């Protein structure tokens, strides 16, 4: 069968993930056993009466910082030796990701690499941040999903999980195979446009026509139109993905 993948989510809001896991391709992957997901309530790994998960920052300043001890205990429970250095010696170690606004930018190449692990542990931060010793000693890597400010790591973890799960063998049907698509080219530096625009019936709506070439059955003309339209739109909305024009 598939080499199924285990996700372990460490969070203060375990119920947060109920909805993202309930729909479409991801829910099917769960039903088919290609993916398993466990959520772990960080509060369950506190040891004080008040179940404290955060504390004031050393050196002063605004906001609270997520403490290392509950995260350490959660990792020990989920994946054995929490220290990255110790874990690295295990035969098939879990890969631990800290979601944080300071992390490396997530992209399709990272999703493909992460899909190669048997177990991914995702640490979702809250508050102003996470004690830096987590990134230094417990996590294998620190990932951000984009240059915008979220209120915590949960949404980012759900995004990462979605992007990775769909790449696992047997998750997508052949029809929507993840292989032949924009962003999953073997060499991301090779020039390639994003997907071309799509249309379906009716042929005209509200006075807005579908490009006539798509209705006429000339398959070479359709291929040519799609290639041009894909480049036109990519140039317009994603100039960062386009080869530099000769005059600049
Ligand atoms: C004073 C600066 N802080 C707030 C503006 C920094 C900050 C702290 C905590 C910014 C974001 C967060 C919470 N964000 C995440 O945990 C997070 C995140 C994100 O904010 N953007 C993109 N990816 C991610 S992954 C985790």
> Which of 165, 180, 202 is the endpoint of a domain?
165
Given strand 54-55, what is the order of strands in its sheet?
Answer: 54-55, 65-66, 129-130
Nearest atom, ligand 1, residue 143 CA = 25
CB 148 near ligand 1, within 6 Å: yes
Q: Is 191 exposed, middle or buried (0-12, 13-18, 19+ CB in 10 A)?
A: exposed
CA torsion, ordered 54, 85, 102, 106, to nearest 10 deg: -120
Of the ranges 62-66, 117-121, 178-182, 219-223, which one carries the lowest mean pLDDT score? 178-182
Q: How many domains does the structure of the chain reveal?
A: 2
CB 146 near ligand 1, within 6 Å: yes
- Verify that 212 and 131 share a domain, yes or no: no
Parent domain of 236:
191-241
The CATH number assigned to the domain holding 236 equals 1.10.1270.20
172 domain-assigned = no
> Do the Cβ atoms of 178 and 25 come closer than 8 Å?
no
- State pLDDT tens for residues 10-51: 999 999 999 999 999 999 999 999 999 999 999 999 999 999
211 domain-assigned = yes
Residue whose pair of structure tokens reads 């995702």 in the numeric block: 122
40 C-alpha to ligand 1 centroid (Å): 21
The CATH number assigned to the domain holding 98 equals 3.40.1280.10
Residue 246 has a pLDDT of 78
248 domain-assigned = no
- State pLDDT tens for residues 77-129: 999 999 999 999 888 899 999 999 999 999 999 999 999 999 999 999 999 99
| Residue among 149, 157, 162 to mutate when testing ligand 1 (max atoms within 8 A of CB) | 149
- Verify that 144 and 228 share a domain, yes or no: no
CB 128 near ligand 1, within 6 Å: yes
100 C-alpha to ligand 1 centroid (Å): 6
CB 82 near ligand 1, within 6 Å: no
| Residue among 101, 122, 130, 153 to mutate when testing ligand 1 (max atoms within 8 A of CB) | 101
């Amino acid at each position: 069968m598939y080499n199924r993948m285990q996700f372990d989510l460490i969070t203060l809001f375990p119920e947060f993930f109920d909805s993202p896991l309930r729909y479409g391709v991801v829910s099917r992957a769960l039903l088919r056993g290609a993916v398993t997901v466990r959520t772990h309530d960080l509060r369950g790994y506190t040891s004080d009466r008040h179940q404290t998960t955060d504390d004031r920052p050393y050196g002063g300043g605004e906001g609270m910082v997520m403490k290392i001890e509950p995260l350490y205990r959660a990792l020990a429970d989920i994946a054995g030796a929490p220290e990255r250095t110790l874990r690295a010696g295990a035969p098939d170690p879990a890969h631990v990701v800290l979601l944080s606004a300071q992390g490396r930018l997530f992209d399709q190449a990272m999703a493909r690499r992460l899909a190669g692990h048997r177990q991914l542990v995702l640490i979702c931060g809250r508050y102003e941040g996470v004690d830096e010793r987590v990134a230094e000693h417990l996590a294998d890597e620190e990932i951000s999903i984009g240059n915008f400010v979220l209120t915590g790591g949960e949404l980012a973890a759900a995004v990462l999980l979605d992007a990775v799960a769909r790449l696992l063998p047997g998750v997508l049907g052949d029809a929507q195979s993840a292989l032949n698509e924009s962003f999953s080219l073997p060499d991301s530096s090779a020039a390639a446009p994003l997907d071309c625009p799509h249309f379906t019936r009716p042929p005209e709506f509200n006075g807005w026509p579908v490009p006539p070439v798509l209705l006429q059955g000339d398959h070479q003309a359709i291929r040519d139109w799609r290639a041009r339209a894909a480049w036109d739109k990519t140039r317009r909305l994603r100039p960062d993905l386009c080869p530099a024009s000769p005059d600049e």
